[in-house]
Amino acid sequence: MQRKTVELWVGVFVLLGLLALGVLAFKVSNLSGSSIGNGYTITAHFDNIGGLTLKAPVSMAGVRIGRVKEIRVDPDDYRAVVSMLIDGRFDSLPADTSAAILTAGLLGAQYVGLEPGGDDTYLVDGDQLYLTQSALVLEQLIGRMLFSKAAGETE
């Protein structure tokens, strides 16, 4: 009888451990439900988004204020259109806010960084950011550097 009780408790602890690992995996992979309440959506056009993914953070001054909601290509100008869901608590972003695709660390994940402007009017649901800076693609930078060095040696 005592052996069955011990086995039951071991099973319960193993189950709780697996459940905790599952919750941790969802938190780390950003698959858990969005914690953004009464948010609003803004969009921005970029020439190159690099490795930006859905649900990537949208940050301002290092504070996460939203998530990337949708990424698509504009059929008119063939630029990437990034839709961002901004938390409703941050409802006083100036209309001339700029967006840049940044990298966390040297080779880390990419995210959208917002830099507030000085306009007196604020962004509302459906607004578009016009001041954008595309992602720096490391491979392109290395290629340009190698090409410029090779071109300099031929002169």
- The Cα 136–Cα 49 span in angstroms is 9
What's the CA gap between 55 and 146, in Å, rounded?
34
Q: How far is CA 34 from CA 26, 29, 38, 81, 94, in A?
A: 12, 12, 11, 21, 24
pLDDT, tens digit, 9 for 90 and up, residues 1-49: 788 888 899 898 999 999 998 888 877 665 554 556 689 999 999 999 9
Tell me the three state secondary structure of residue 26: helix
Residue spans per domain, the chain: 1-32, 40-143
C-beta of residue 129 within 8 angstroms of C-beta of residue 84: no
Please state the pTM of the whole predicted model: 0.70
